């Protein structure tokens, strides 16, 4: 380790380098990284000068340990089921999972701090066993860790502290090795964000990200079909707003918003037989929640037919030429008056429309959101900003689809930055008890509130490197 580096880190399931961005920003030095996806590994190497291409299941086993000595272990690992056999305990209970390889590295290298990231479902009812085993194994290896889940999202963090307008709930597990002569707190509180770090106002997507002003950003154009779907449904929005206003006036009530329940134009039928068939497919009544939505859709359809049957017949005929998922609308934009003022997500459940405050989570398997006021998709650079990557972050010449996928799989730099800052304060006493812990504490606690300038500096300092894979 260089004399100036306060700690060395191991970056497991490294992706394109979200953890590396934060850890390098804190002044850390790379000791080891591994990423099985070749395109993601190339982006990592391009920015951080280390090629992580490899397989943790080959590098950290009970017979092989290629993970270098390090002080902080980080990793966003996939959620996998563990064995529930009463005969399998300890490491055998997690054998065959990627968490087993994480624990092999922890056993061998005994890092001072561990930070792991996972999807929120890890702490859901389907994974209570896995969560309990993770906490149990970390404690068995001598770490202080809270059994109460800590869930964070970039949109919870003020932009002056590195937050971004993206709702992305993730579980962060942070643990500190208990030094000799100390005892772990068995009921230690989970890490929490300080009040001044939390976002206390409404996000403005265009200003806070910020969005690029241009409408013709390469690779973000909407297809003709997408424009047709949005414009067609926006006509329905205008007609519906006028109808709601007229109904409100007639009732002497304030203006009414558009319905908040899912609009399913594909079930808008007239005959009692057709409605009964939809309510009882195969002779079995649909679940109660679906029955409620069907009834609401039929009531809405009947009201629209009463108001303007001619317009509705023409509109509905065209709607039925669309794919089924584009015959549905989820209006979650409150008082907005046009879809083109909103964020539009093309989902299997329909066109979901939200206000231009913040975006849904970037995920690797869904389409990129449409920015209504820009009449285009979110650009790769804007997606990188959502994940806390500075504009200098280099994705090379790869296809935009790969960049979106990698960002959707990545960790958010601002979340990692603030969680580690909160963690070292929670475990301050344990960290200050050892020289390495003191070095980690000082580096992280004294770092600026906002990570971006530190990450930019780390990028500039990274070595020139030509990937060999």
Give residue 365's pLDDT band: very low, low, confident or very high (50, 70, 90).
low
Cβ neighbours of residue 176 closer than 8 Å, sequence gap 6 or more:
112, 113, 114, 143, 144, 145, 423, 427, 430, 431, 437
Q: What is the mean pLDDT of residues 437-442?
A: 98
User: Residues 16, 45, 67, 79: which is the catalytic one?
Assistant: 79
Residue reference for tokens 């290629």: 66
Give residue 80's pLDDT band: very low, low, confident or very high (50, 70, 90).
confident
The yes-or-no answer on residue 79 being catalytic is: yes
Please determine, for residue 363, whether its predicted confidence score (pLDDT) is greater than 90. no
Q: Please say whether the beta carbons of 209 and 387 come within 8 A.
A: no
pLDDT, tens digit (0-9, with 9 covering 90-100), for 369-390? 999 999 999 999 999 999 999 9
CA distance 49 to 381: 21
Higher pLDDT, 469 or 362: 362
CA distance 63 to 92: 14
> Residue 362 burial (CB < 10 Å; 0-12/13-18/19+)?
buried
**Which is the CATH superfamily of the domain at 8-202+392-461?**
Vaccinia Virus protein VP39 (3.40.50.150)
Please determine, for residue 356, whether its predicted confidence score (pLDDT) is greater than 70. yes
CA distance 157 to 131: 25
Helices (H), 411-451: 413-426, 428-431, 435-445
Q: How distant, in Å, are the alpha carbons of 107, 183, 291, 438, 460 from that of 180?
A: 16, 8, 61, 15, 39
Q: What is the DSSP letter of 289?
A: H
Which of 193, 157, 198, 195 has the alpha carbon at shortest distance from 423? 193
pLDDT confidence of residue 462: 87
Q: Can you name the residues that pair with 376 across neighbouring β-strands?
A: 371
pLDDT confidence of residue 65: 97
pLDDT confidence of residue 90: 60
- At 332, give phi and psi (nearest 5°): -125, 30
Q: Where in the chain is the domain with CATH 3.40.50.150?
A: 8-202+392-461
CA distance 228 to 225: 5
Q: Please say whether the beta carbons of 355 and 196 come within 8 A.
A: no
pLDDT, tens digit (0-9, with 9 covering 90-100), for 145-189? 999 999 999 999 999 999 999 999 999 999 999 999 999 998 999
Give 3-state DSSP helix, strand, coil % of the chain, rounded to 5. Answer: 45, 15, 40
Please determine, for residue 86, whether its predicted confidence score (pLDDT) is greater than 70. no
Mean pLDDT of the residues in the chain: 94
Cβ neighbours of residue 238 closer than 8 Å, sequence gap 6 or more:
337, 338
Cβ neighbours of residue 288 closer than 8 Å, sequence gap 6 or more:
none
pTM of the model: 0.91
């Amino acid at each position: 380790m260089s004399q100036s580096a306060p700690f060395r880190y191991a970056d497991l399931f490294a992706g394109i380098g979200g953890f590396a961005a934060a850890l390098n920003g804190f002044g850390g030095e790379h000791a080891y990284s591994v990423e099985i996806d070749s395109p993601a590994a190339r982006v990592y190497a391009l920015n951080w000068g280390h090629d992580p291409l490899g397989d943790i299941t080959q590098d950290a086993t009970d017979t092989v340990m290629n993970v270098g000595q390090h002080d902080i272990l980080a990793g966003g690992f996939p959620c996998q089921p563990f064995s529930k056999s009463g005969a399998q305990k300890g490491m055998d209970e997690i054998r065959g999972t990627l968490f087993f390889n994480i624990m092999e590295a922890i056993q061998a290298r005994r890092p001072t701090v561990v930070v792991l990231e996972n999807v929120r479902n890890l702490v859901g009812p389907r994974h209570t066993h896995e969560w309990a085993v993770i906490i149990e194994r970390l404690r068995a290896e001598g770490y202080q860790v809270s059994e109460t889940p800590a869930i964070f999202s970039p949109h919870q963090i003020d932009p002056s502290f590195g937050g971004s307008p993206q709702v992305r709930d993730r579980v962060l597990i942070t643990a500190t090795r208990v030094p000799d002569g100390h005892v772990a707190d068995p009921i230690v509180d989970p890490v929490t964000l300080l009040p001044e770090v939390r976002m206390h106002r409404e996000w403005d997507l265009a200003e806070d990200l910020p969005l690029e002003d241009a409408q013709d950003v390469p690779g973000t154009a909407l297809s003709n079909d997408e424009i047709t779907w949005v414009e067609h449904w926006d006509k329905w929005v205008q007609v519906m707003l006028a109808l709601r206003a007229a109904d409100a006036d007639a009732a002497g009530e304030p203006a009414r918003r558009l319905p908040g329940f899912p609009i399913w134009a594909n079930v808008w039928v007239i005959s009692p037989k057709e409605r009964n068939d939809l309510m009882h497919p195969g002779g079995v009544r649909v679940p109660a929640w679906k029955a409620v939505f069907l009834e609401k859709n039929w009531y809405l359809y009947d009201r629209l037919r009463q108001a303007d049957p001619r317009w509705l017949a023409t509109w509905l005929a065209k709607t039925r030429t669309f794919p089924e998922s584009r015959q549905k609308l989820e209006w979650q934009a409150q008082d907005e008056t046009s879809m083109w003022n909103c964020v539009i997500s093309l989902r299997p459940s329909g066109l979901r429309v939200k206000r231009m405050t913040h975006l849904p989570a970037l995920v690797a398997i869904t389409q990129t959101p449409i920015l209504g006021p820009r009449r285009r998709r979110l650009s790769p650079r804007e997606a990188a900003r959502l994940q806390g990557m500075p504009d200098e972050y280099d994705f090379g010449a790869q296809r935009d689809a790969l960049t979106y996928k990698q960002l959707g799989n990545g960790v958010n730099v601002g979340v990692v930055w603030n969680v580690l800052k909160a963690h070292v304060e929670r475990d301050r006493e344990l960290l200050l008890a050892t020289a390495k812990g003191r070095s980690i504490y000082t580096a992280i606690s004294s770092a600026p509130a906002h990570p971006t300038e530190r990450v930019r500096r780390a990028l500039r300092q990274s070595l020139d490197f030509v990937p060999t894979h």
